């Protein structure tokens, strides 16, 4: 007779539970954003940073404890993309300018396109060709820093109704555009790696 007749499902390991907790943080993150008071910006940014740190933590634990799973490989990028998309939508509302809307649309569109590409590559057994690259990892870090910096700020307006651009706000916008550039760069890298399958040569294998 086994020692534990009702073992926990293999997918409910520690790394996956951390990823699920990150998903559960999304509605809390959105609620914090709409709370009144100056401190809500710090709370919102803190939740976003916490989500980013748990992203690194669950991946590290999965590799260190040899608990990688198909469920975790599916869930982890979903949690990341949903949190980033939620943050970008809220920032577009808060800043209400094309300077934020354009990179937000580009970044969200890229995530959808790359997710579809990876799903298709997995179906044909070539997912390894579009594994996360070093550029993608740098992009993620820059993106987290840029979004966190923007979440900390509630931009004021001039008498003409335009955004009051402070040096820190300019710096934050610049970081977001760097993240957008890296986003496009990493997407092109994935497309280049998948191109032989997307557009096979005539007479090729």
pLDDT in tens, 22-59: 999 999 999 999 998 888 999 999 999 999 888 888 77
**How far is residue 17's CA from residue 24's CA, in Å, rounded to a whole number?**
10
Contacts of 137 (CB under 8 A, 6+ apart): none
pLDDT in tens, 60-88: 777 787 777 777 777 888 888 899 999 99
Tell me what pLDDT residue 14 has. 82
Give residue 103's pLDDT band: very low, low, confident or very high (50, 70, 90). very high
Tell me what pLDDT residue 49 has. 93
Handedness of CA 96, 99, 100, 106 (dihedral sign): positive
**How far is residue 100's CA from residue 178's CA, in Å, rounded to a whole number?**
13
Q: Are 80 and 55 in contact (CB under 8 A)?
A: yes
pTM given for the model: 0.82
Looking at domain 14-195, its CATH class is mainly alpha
């Amino acid at each position: 007779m086994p020692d534990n007749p009702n073992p926990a499902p293999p997918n409910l390991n520690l790394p996956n539970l951390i990823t699920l907790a990150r998903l559960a943080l999304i509605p809390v993150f959105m609620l914090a954003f709409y709370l009144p008071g100056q401190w809500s910006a710090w709370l919102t940014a803190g939740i976003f940073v916490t989500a980013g740190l748990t992203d690194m933590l669950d991946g590290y634990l999965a590799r260190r404890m040899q608990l990688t799973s198909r469920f975790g490989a599916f869930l982890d990028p979903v949690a990341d993309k949903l949190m980033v998309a939620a943050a970008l939508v809220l920032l577009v509302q808060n800043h209400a300018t094309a300077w934020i809307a354009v990179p937000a649309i580009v970044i969200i569109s890229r995530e959808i396109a790359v997710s579809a590409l990876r799903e298709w590559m997995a179906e044909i057994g070539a997912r390894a060709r579009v594994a996360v690259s070093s550029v993608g990892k740098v992009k993620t870090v820059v993106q987290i820093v840029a979004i966190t910096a923007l979440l900390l700020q509630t931009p004021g307006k001039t008498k003409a109704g335009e955004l009051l651009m402070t040096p820190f706000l300019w710096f934050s916008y610049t970081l977001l555009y760097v993240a957008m550039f890296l986003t496009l760069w990493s997407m092109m890298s994935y497309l280049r790696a998948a191109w032989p399958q997307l557009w096979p040569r005539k007479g090729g294998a």
